[in-house]
């Protein structure tokens, strides 16, 4: 088995070390984004800035700042009066889009009653958009249990979900119903209705959890749990579903018919990051090789791989606990078939 050193892609500038970091990502142009909050704002002792579950009590409104880092060029966007536990962030136009993965349980109590009219249930809009100056542009309800929120160069919004997720629909009679396991959804713009991959793949694909997602310039690839098939999607819908022998993958990079699936696991007391390379010929995917990933300088990682942002041939990850520093894996031209 060969090894490959990851490239250090981006580090949040040290001047932001005093801020708590709610979330970070790499956008479709390769820029580092971070959502920051001053934990001592308004002279308070700070709020518990950590990922919350649906059982969490309401939080007071707070101010935050989105930072977009393009090399040495840094753009700050002030965000005022936020009222949810946002941890997902990406660029949208010249501004940003934020997502809160969990919706407070109290907001679903009345919707649980199938006979409750939809007009009497105001579901939280847990995805919000802002322009480059921090002015609110709009918001949408995206369901509970968001795994990842990514935008593409065309401004489409892609949201994947983990295994506790659910999405509320309005029935034809004006009441609510709940659908579990939404898997993967797309909004063409914040004001549009969502498109769900599950509605196209039907029972052929289990969307319990969208484990791996790659949002490229023109194509999107996903590997949903439980069988990890490779689902290829374009702006019109699902193009293909290919059985995949590489199960247990947590992220992927894509270059033509060449794929790099990220796996991470314990080996004794160590944590190993591994790339399982594969190629597709017709309707078959074949694993071709494996690489052990090392951090710059040859240091083995000591924690799980987090972030896991796939965009075409690039995959960005960070060590668990340090989302201020991102590393890059790339399928190089000579690697692609």
Give pLDDT, residue 107.
55
Residue with tokens 């004794």: 268
> What is the secondary structure of 138-197 as a DSSP string?
EEE---EEEEEEEE-TT--EEEEEEEEEEEEEE-TTSBEEEEE---EEEESSTTSPPEEH
Handedness of CA 23, 225, 237, 215 (dihedral sign): positive
Q: Return the higher-pLDDT residue of 322 and 170.
A: 322
pLDDT digits (tens, 9 = 90+) for 123-138: 889 999 999 999 999 9
Is the pLDDT score of 45 beyond 50?
no
Residue percentage of the chain with pLDDT more than 90: 76
Given a contact cutoff of 8 angstroms between Cβ atoms, the answer to whether 237 and 219 are in contact is no
Stretch 35-44: mean pLDDT: 74
- For the stretch 106-126, pLDDT in tens is 555 544 555 566 666 678 899
Average pLDDT over residues 45-54: 52
Provide, rounded to the nearest whole percent, the portion of the chain with pLDDT above 70.
89
d(CA 324, CA 67): 12
pLDDT for position 117: 65
Q: Note whether 246 and 228 are within 8 A (CB).
A: yes
**What per-residue confidence (pLDDT) applies to 121?**
64
Rg (CA), the chain: 20
Q: What pLDDT, on the 0 to 100 scale, is given for residue 335?
A: 72
Among 49-63, 82-96, 251-265, 267-281, the minimum mean pLDDT is found in 49-63
The DSSP symbol for 198 reads H
Q: What is the pLDDT of residues 322-336, one digit of tens each?
A: 999 999 999 987 675
Q: Which CATH number fits domain 2-330: 1.10.287, 1.10.3470, 2.120.10, 2.60.40?
A: 2.120.10
- What pLDDT, on a 0 to 100 scale, did the predictor assign at position 32? 98
Residue 323 structure tokens: 């989302």
- Rounded to whole angstroms, the Cα distance separating 144 from 176 reads 15
Q: In Å, how far are 267, 312, 316 from 330, measured between CA atoms? A: 25, 9, 9
Q: Are 114 and 177 in contact (CB under 8 A)?
A: yes
Max distance between CA atoms of the chain, in angstroms, equals 62
Residue 19's H or E segment, with its range, is none
Q: Would the pLDDT of 175 be above 70?
A: yes
Among 51, 69, 71, smallest CA distance to 59 is for: 51
pTM across the whole model:
0.93
Give the mean model confidence (pLDDT) for residues 284-307. 97
Q: Is 283 exposed, middle or buried (0-12, 13-18, 19+ CB in 10 A)?
A: exposed
Closest among 66, 53, 132 to 100, alpha carbons compared: 53
Q: For residue 44, what pLDDT band results from cuts at 50, 70 and 90?
A: very low
For the chain, give the number of residues: 337
The 10s digit of each residue's pLDDT in 181-209 is: 999 999 999 999 999 999 999 989 999 99
- Give the model's confidence band at 282: pLDDT under 50 very low, under 70 low, under 90 confident, else very high: very high
Arithmetic mean of pLDDT, 72-100:
96
């Amino acid at each position: 088995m060969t090894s490959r050193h990851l490239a250090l892609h981006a580090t949040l500038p040290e001047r932001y070390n005093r801020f708590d970091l709610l979330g970070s990502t790499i956008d479709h142009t390769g820029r580092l984004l971070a959502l920051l909050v001053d934990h001592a704002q308004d002279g308070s002792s700070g709020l518990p800035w950590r990922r919350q579950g649906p059982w969490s009590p309401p939080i007071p409104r707070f101010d935050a700042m989105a930072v977009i880092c393009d090399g040495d060029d840094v753009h700050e966007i002030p965000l005022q009066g936020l009222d949810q536990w946002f941890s997902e962030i990406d660029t949208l136009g010249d501004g940003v889009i934020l997502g809160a993965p969990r919706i407070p349980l109290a907001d679903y109590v009345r919707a649980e009653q199938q006979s409750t009219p939809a007009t009497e249930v105001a579901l939280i809009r847990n995805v919000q958009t802002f322009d480059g100056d921090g002015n609110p542009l709009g918001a949408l309800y995206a369901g509970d249990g968001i795994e990842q929120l990514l935008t593409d160069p065309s401004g489409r919004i892609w949201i994947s979900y983990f295994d506790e997720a659910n999405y509320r629909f309005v029935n034809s009679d004006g009441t609510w119903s709940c659908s579990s396991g939404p898997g993967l959804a797309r909004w063409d713009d914040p004001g549009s209705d969502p498109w769900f991959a599950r509605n196209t793949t039907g029972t052929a694909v289990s969307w319990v959890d969208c484990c791996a997602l790659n949002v490229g310039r023109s194509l999107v690839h996903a590997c949903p749990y439980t069988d990890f098939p490779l689902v290829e999607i374009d702006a019109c819908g699902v193009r293909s579903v290919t059985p995949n022998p590489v199960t247990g993958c947590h992220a992927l990079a894509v270059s033509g018919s060449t794929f790099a699936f990220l796996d991470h696991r314990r080996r004794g007391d160590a944590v190993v990051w591994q790339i399982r390379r594969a190629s597709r010929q017709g309707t078959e995917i074949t694993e071709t090789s494996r690489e052990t990933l090392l951090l710059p300088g040859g240091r083995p990682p000591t924690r799980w791989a987090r972030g896991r942002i796939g965009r075409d041939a690039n995959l960005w990850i960070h060590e668990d606990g340090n989302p201020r520093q991102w590393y890059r894996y790339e399928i190089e031209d000579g690697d692609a078939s």
